[in-house]
Amino acid sequence: AKDYELRQYETAKWASTVIRGETQKEAMRQGFWKLFHYIQGKNEKETKIDMTVPVTCLIKSGCTDFKISFFVPFEHQDSPPQPTDSDVFIEERKAAAIFVRSFGGFASPEKYTEEAEALARILRNRGQPFHEDFFYTAGYDSPFKLFNRHNEVWYFKK
């Protein structure tokens, strides 16, 4: 469809942290730095890991916990170094079909919510079943990239 796509993601490992009781913007900032320290060598092997994209944030309806995640690079998928920060963990996300809506610019929490609501409306109108109680934001660019930015919102297909 022109206003969204359906992607099939394979099972994969992600480095994640949960930030509780903060605004989404502050949770993203804190979570990003915890995960950045992990990839900079704050792990059992003291291994530096390449930064990957996207950086995702799990948004659950009516919940002030935000799970921020970095995709573990393919070369580390089989055995990612274990985090030494107790707030950081490796999770395996199962294969899933995901509805994706892409947009440009600098994405604020409000813009992500607006895009997620637009995607949900489109999916409902087209009779596409999806998990409505949560969505992911996905950011692909460094904060220093000014143009041609790429952001997404994801809903999991039922």
Look up the CATH number of the domain holding residue 27: 3.20.80.10
Question: What is the β-pairing status of strands 65-71 and 12-20?
Answer: antiparallel
Mean pLDDT in residue range 72-80: 96
Q: DSSP class of residue 83?
A: B
Torsion-angle region of 87 (φ positive above 0: left; ψ -120 to 50: alpha; else: beta): alpha
Is residue 132 within 8 A of residue 155, CB to CB? The reply is yes
Going by C-alpha positions, the residue among 144, 151, 135, 139 that lies closest to residue 28 is 139
Residue 2 has a pLDDT of 84
Q: What is the pLDDT of residues 105-152, one digit of tens each?
A: 999 999 999 999 999 999 999 999 999 999 999 999 988 899 999 999
Domain count, the chain: 1
Is residue 150 within 8 A of residue 102, CB to CB? The reply is yes
Residue 83 has a pLDDT of 98
Q: What is the pLDDT of residues 5-43, one digit of tens each?
A: 999 999 999 999 999 989 999 999 999 999 999 999 999
Residue 68 has a pLDDT of 98
Residue 123 has a pLDDT of 98
Q: Could you tell me the pLDDT band of residue 76, with boundaries at 50, 70 and 90? A: very high
Q: Could you tell me the pLDDT band of residue 87, with boundaries at 50, 70 and 90? A: very high
Is residue 86 within 8 A of residue 77, CB to CB? The reply is no
CA distances 35 to 15, 51, 110, 116, 130, Å, are 7, 10, 23, 25, 29
pLDDT of 1 > 80? The answer is no
Residue 32: how many CB atoms within 10 A of its CB?
Answer: 18
Residue 31 has a pLDDT of 97
Cα–Cα–Cα angle for 70, 34, 109, rounded to 5 degrees: 65
Residue 132 has a pLDDT of 96
Q: Which residues of 54-85 are buried (b: 16+ CB within 10 A; e: fewer)?
A: bbbbbbeeeeeebbbbbbbeeebeeebbebee
Host domain of residue 109: 5-156
